[in-house]
Chains A and B, each alone.
Chain A
């Protein structure tokens, strides 16, 4: 659905995006993660045909980004929620959406249906005639989200959709994005919020001018750390430590008070015999858990290395 091949964008001497190659499948929620100035917004602007490509190629569906005759077609099939809601503050929520519906040349009936559909979904139908300038930041963001969807785009670019929102509003926006996934829309999500990316994205691309890695959140975590098991004991002593040391399945281990943290290749297969050995050595086990690295750990490690 979205393909980039060596996509590069310079601002004068500054390289904003360097040699970006990736493929995003139809119906996927793709999270684009990176620090400030990493090139996320630039990538979105390029893919929405708002700014030009310095080198490389990009395709949205069957259309080529940067080809003058394809630009309008691409803009028609994508919806963009920029970093700032950018509503017309003197116009009502309804009129803001109606204006955009007209620019997308939607027939009046469909325009009205879609405005009502999205405003109801976002819980703003009752306030449709209220002036946008009087809305809270969260409400403005919801209207801006409805604006990006008003023409039923196949692909939606969301640039920091939950930035600055209170937890409740952010949760609502996240749920809304998941609803959109059910409608088989392709979503390109720029975000700083790692928890958000972890929860809702099918795949994640890490960028710092260059693309660092691209994988599912789970694969990103697994690929960087071997799996670890934490065993909380009642009585960690030398006999137990000696037993653990002798086990071939344990690649390494560390201790923390009465807790043993073991690095094991295949926990599902190896953990039962390890636990049995510890019990035989006189260990009293309180509980056993898997130690999972967070996406934040992965992010910080990869960005630091880049």
Chain B
């Protein structure tokens, strides 16, 4: 396996992505909206509640680490900020469905896969190249929009905490472990979807199911079944990485010349 060949394929895909207005608009607007709307809705609502009593927050106090050292408003903000981090993880989950649908299904529809597969490249080089073309822009926009999120949250919460709320350990785990793992899961799922559908929209819709685990985590947190803290985030990331390994094995077995040319619909 030559990484240089995978990189050539990735660079070609980047170039195509850059020229696709639909993908570029989604890539810029969606993460930005998430980075702006979430802090305003979540932190803004917590700021609006000034006269909170600790007894009102009994249900969530146990979910916030070091809650005993915080004011009720700080507890509420910390709780909501953690929820917001899970919601923000949808960015690296959803973005790949848009790019990958074009990268995999688009290439299939355009009938450009056969000449590509006729070159002296291995299946792994092609798969890696196309995956990198999805993963790298996804992580780039995730990190760029996270900067907006961090600045906005810190600006909103500084008067309450008298210190910078972000970056904290939860954010670092989400950005550097959880988000990449979610992104890889989304890419692998899209490879599997690409072998079964012949329609970009269908691929995006099915690929979008990747946010389902995040929604489950969110509901579990709201129901106080799951607490968002560094340990739980590490465990969750490990679980998704395990899933990624399984999905990678599956997608590698599907992304083979023979399969693509004879069995892909």
From B43-51, B115-123, B204-212, B229-237, the one touching the partner chain is B115-123
Which of A52, A72, A99 is within 8 Å of B122, CB to CB? A72
A7 to chain B: which residues have CB within 8 Å?
A: none
Which of A88, A102, A147 is within 8 Å of B8, CB to CB? A102
Q: How large is the interface on A (under 10, 10 to 19, 20 to 34, 35 or more residues)?
A: 20 to 34
Q: Does B262 contact A (CB under 8 A)?
A: yes
With A45-B261, A88-B16, A90-B20: A50-B114 Cβ-Cβ less than 8 Å:
yes
In the assembled complex, the CB of B11 is this many whole angstroms from the nearest CB of chain A, namely 8
Q: Does B68 contact A (CB under 8 A)?
A: no
With A75-B120, A91-B12: A86-B115 Cβ-Cβ less than 8 Å:
yes
**Is the beta-carbon distance between A75 and B119 smaller than 8 angstroms?**
yes
From B77-85, B105-113, B141-149, the one touching the partner chain is B105-113
Closest to B115 in A: A86
Which of A52, A75, A86, A95 is within 8 Å of B114, CB to CB? A86
- Looking at chain B's contact residues, is the secondary structure mostly helix, strand, loop, or mixed? helix
Complex formed: what's the CA distance from A104 to B115 in Å?
A: 12
Q: Does A287 contact B (CB under 8 A)?
A: no
With A51-B261, A144-B115: A90-B19 Cβ-Cβ less than 8 Å:
yes
B199 to chain A: which residues have CB within 8 Å?
A: none
Query: Interface size of B by Cβ–Cβ distance < 8 Å?
Result: 25
Complex formed: what's the CA distance from A89 to B160 in Å?
A: 53
With A51-B258, A72-B122: A87-B112 Cβ-Cβ less than 8 Å:
yes
**Is the beta-carbon distance between A89 and B115 smaller than 8 angstroms?**
no
From A76-84, A215-223, A229-237, the one touching the partner chain is A76-84
A103 to chain B: which residues have CB within 8 Å?
A: 5, 8-9, 116, 119-121
B9 to chain A: which residues have CB within 8 Å?
A: 103
Which of B110, B118, B121 is within 8 Å of A48, CB to CB? B118
A90 to chain B: which residues have CB within 8 Å?
A: 15-16, 19-20
In the assembled complex, the CB of B131 is this many whole angstroms from the nearest CB of chain A, namely 17
Q: Give per-residue flags for B1-12: 1 if the beta carbon is below 8 A from chain A beta carbons, else 0.
A: 000010011001
With A45-B261, A50-B261, A82-B111: A100-B119 Cβ-Cβ less than 8 Å:
yes
With A11-B262, A75-B119, A82-B115: A99-B12 Cβ-Cβ less than 8 Å:
yes
Q: Does B257 contact A (CB under 8 A)?
A: yes
B258 to chain A: which residues have CB within 8 Å?
A: 50-52
**Is the beta-carbon distance between B118 and A82 smaller than 8 angstroms?**
yes
Closest to A42 in B: B262
Closest to A103 in B: B119
A84 to chain B: which residues have CB within 8 Å?
A: 111, 114
- From 241 to 265 in chain B, residues with beta carbon under 8 angstroms from any chain A beta carbon are 257-258, 261-262
B5 to chain A: which residues have CB within 8 Å?
A: 103, 105
With A51-B258, A91-B16, A99-B8: A86-B110 Cβ-Cβ less than 8 Å:
yes
B117 to chain A: which residues have CB within 8 Å?
A: 50
- From 232 to 246 in chain A, residues with beta carbon under 8 angstroms from any chain B beta carbon are none
**Is the beta-carbon distance between B8 and A80 smaller than 8 angstroms?**
no
In the assembled complex, the CB of B115 is this many whole angstroms from the nearest CB of chain A, namely 5
B116 to chain A: which residues have CB within 8 Å?
A: 103
**Is the beta-carbon distance between A51 and B262 smaller than 8 angstroms?**
yes
Closest to B17 in A: A90
Closest to B257 in A: A50
Complex formed: what's the CA distance from A132 to B16 in Å?
A: 12
Complex formed: what's the CA distance from A256 to B16 in Å?
A: 65
Which of B111, B119, B257 is within 8 Å of A86, CB to CB? B111
A48 to chain B: which residues have CB within 8 Å?
A: 118
- From 85 to 120 in chain B, residues with beta carbon under 8 angstroms from any chain A beta carbon are 110-120
B119 to chain A: which residues have CB within 8 Å?
A: 75, 100, 103-104
B19 to chain A: which residues have CB within 8 Å?
A: 90-91
A50 to chain B: which residues have CB within 8 Å?
A: 114, 117-118, 257-258, 261
Can you list 6 A-B contacts with CB-CB less than 8 angstroms, sorted by A residue number? Answer: A75-B120, A80-B114, A86-B114, A90-B19, A91-B12, A104-B119
Q: Using CB atoms and an 8 Å cutoff, list the residues of chain A in contact with chain B.
A: 11, 45, 48-52, 72-73, 75-76, 78, 80, 82, 84-91, 95, 99-100, 102-105, 144, 147-148
Q: Using CB atoms and an 8 Å cutoff, list the residues of chain B in contact with chain A.
A: 5, 8-9, 12, 15-16, 19-20, 110-122, 257-258, 261-262
Which A-B residue pairs are the 7 nearest by beta carbons? A84-B111, A86-B112, A86-B111, A80-B118, A90-B19, A76-B120, A75-B120
